[in-house]
C-alpha cells in the first residue's frame, strides 16, 4: 500500500499498441496500488483478444477494475462510466494514496478526470428516423449530413465507420439545433477531480509513426494467431450490438459474411487501427497537462512522478 500525504490519480494515455498496459502494471506494482481500465472496448466480455485486454498473468498481483464486466449486448455511455469510475476511485483512495488509470478512450478518461456535461435527451422519433435513414441510404449519407451539421466533430471523430457515433452526434444536432461539438465543449455541470482534493498527474506515451505502426501490425498478427477469428465467430449472433461496431470485429464479421477474404480483413484491421491511433493522438495532444515519454522510459516516468508527488 502506498502512503503519501495527498491523494493522487495517475493517468496513462496514448495510442493503441504503444505499451500503456506494461507501464501501468509496473507503476501499480511500484506504488502497490490498483488499476482503473479506461478502454471502452475492454469493458465487454468475450472480447479479450480483439481488444488486447491484459492477460490473467499481467493482472496477477495487480487488481484491475472495469475489465470485461459487461455483456456485449449492453449499452454503456461515457457518462455512466464517469460516475461509476469515480465512485470506485473514491473507494480505492480510502486504502491507497495513489491509483493508476490507463486507457486510450479519450472521452471516457475525460469523464473520469473532469466530468461530462449531461447531454440532452433525444426524442424517439428522431432516433427512429436516423436509424431508418442508415438502413435505406447507408452510413456515407449520414456522415455527409454530419459534416454539414457539425464539421468540427466530423473532422475529429475517432472511428468514422462506427454508425453509433455518427447517429449520436446527429441526434443531438437535430434535437437541440446546436452542434454536438457545442455540447461537448460546455463546462457546466463538470467537476474536476481536483475539486475533490485529488491531485491529477497525466502521463502520455508517444513514439515515431513507423515504430508504432510496426507494433500495430505485429499486434494484429498476434491476435489472429491467438484465435481472433474464433472469438468473433462466437460473437456472430450479437454482431448488431453497439459494442461490436469496432475495429477488429467489424472487419471479421464482413469476412464471415463473405464480403472479403481473411487476408483482406486482416489488412483492413491493420489500416483502421493505424487511423484510430492517429485520431487518439490528435485527441490527447490537445491536453497540455500531459507529460510525454517514450514507452521504454519507465525510469524517467517514475522519477517524474516521484518528483511531483514530493513537492
Sign of the alpha-carbon dihedral angle for 273, 166, 281, 70: negative
Q: Confirm whether residue 19 is marked as ligand binding.
A: yes
Residue 291: exposed, middle, or buried by beta-carbon count in 10 A (0-12, 13-18, 19+)?
middle
Element (H, E) at 170: helix 163-176
DSSP state of 99: E
Distance CA 179, CA 148 (A): 10
Q: Confirm whether residue 17 is marked as ligand binding.
A: yes
> Per DSSP, which regions of the chain are E strands?
7-13, 35-37, 64-65, 98-102, 198-205, 291-293
Q: Which residues contact 296 (CB under 8 A, 6 or more apart)?
A: 19
Show the cell assigned to 217: 501490425
Q: Confirm whether residue 14 is marked as ligand binding.
A: yes
Q: Confirm whether residue 15 is marked as ligand binding.
A: yes
Show the cell assigned to 306: 516521484
Provide the annotated binding site: 14-21
Binding residues for substrate: 16-21
Annotated binding residues for ATP, written as ranges, equal 14-21
Amino acid at each position: 500500500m502506498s502512503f503519501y500525504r495527498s491523494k493522487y490519480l495517475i493517468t496513462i494515455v496514448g495510442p493503441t499498441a504503444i505499451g500503456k498496459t506494461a507501464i501501468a502494471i509496473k507503476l501499480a506494482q511500484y506504488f502497490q496500488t490498483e488499476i482503473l481500465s479506461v478502454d471502452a472496448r475492454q469493458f465487454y466480455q468475450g472480447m479479450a483478444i480483439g481488444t488486447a485486454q491484459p492477460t490473467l498473468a499481467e493482472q496477477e498481483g495487480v487488481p484491475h477494475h472495469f475489465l470485461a464486466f459487461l455483456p456485449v449486448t449492453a449499452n454503456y455511455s461515457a457518462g455512466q462510466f464517469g460516475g461509476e469510475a469515480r465512485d470506485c476511485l473514491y473507494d480505492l483512495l480510502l486504502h491507497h494514496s495513489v491509483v493508476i488509470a490507463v486507457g486510450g478512450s479519450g472521452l471516457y478518461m475525460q469523464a473520469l478526470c473532469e466530468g461530462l456535461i449531461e447531454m440532452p435527451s433525444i426524442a424517439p422519433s428522431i432516433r427512429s428516423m436516423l436509424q431508418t435513414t442508415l438502413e435505406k441510404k447507408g452510413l456515407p449519407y449520414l456522415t455527409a449530413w454530419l459534416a454539414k451539421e457539425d464539421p468540427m466533430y466530423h473532422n475529429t471523430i475517432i472511428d468514422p465507420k462506427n454508425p453509433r457515433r455518427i447517429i449520436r452526434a446527429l441526434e443531438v444536432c437535430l434535437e437541440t439545433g446546436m452542434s454536438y461539438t457545442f455540447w461537448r465543449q460546455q463546462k457546466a455541470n463538470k467537476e474536476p477531480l481536483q475539486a475533490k482534493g485529488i491531485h491529477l498527474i497525466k502521463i502520455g506515451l508517444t513514439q515515431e509513426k513507423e515504430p508504432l505502426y510496426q507494433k500495430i501490425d505485429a499486434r494484429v498478427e498476434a491476435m489472429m494467431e491467438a484465435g481472433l477469428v474464433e472469438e468473433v465467430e462466437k460473437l456472430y449472433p450479437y454482431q448488431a450490438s453497439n459494442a461490436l461496431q469496432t475495429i477488429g470485429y467489424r472487419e471479421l464479421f464482413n469476412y464471415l459474411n463473405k464480403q472479403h477474404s481473411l487476408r483482406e480483413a486482416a489488412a483492413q484491421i491493420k489500416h483502421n487501427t493505424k487511423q484510430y491511433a492517429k485520431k487518439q493522438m490528435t485527441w490527447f495532444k490537445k491536453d497540455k497537462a500531459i507529460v510525454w515519454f517514450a514507452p521504454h522510459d519507465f525510469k524517467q516516468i517514475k522519477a517524474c512522478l516521484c518528483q511531483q508527488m514530493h513537492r
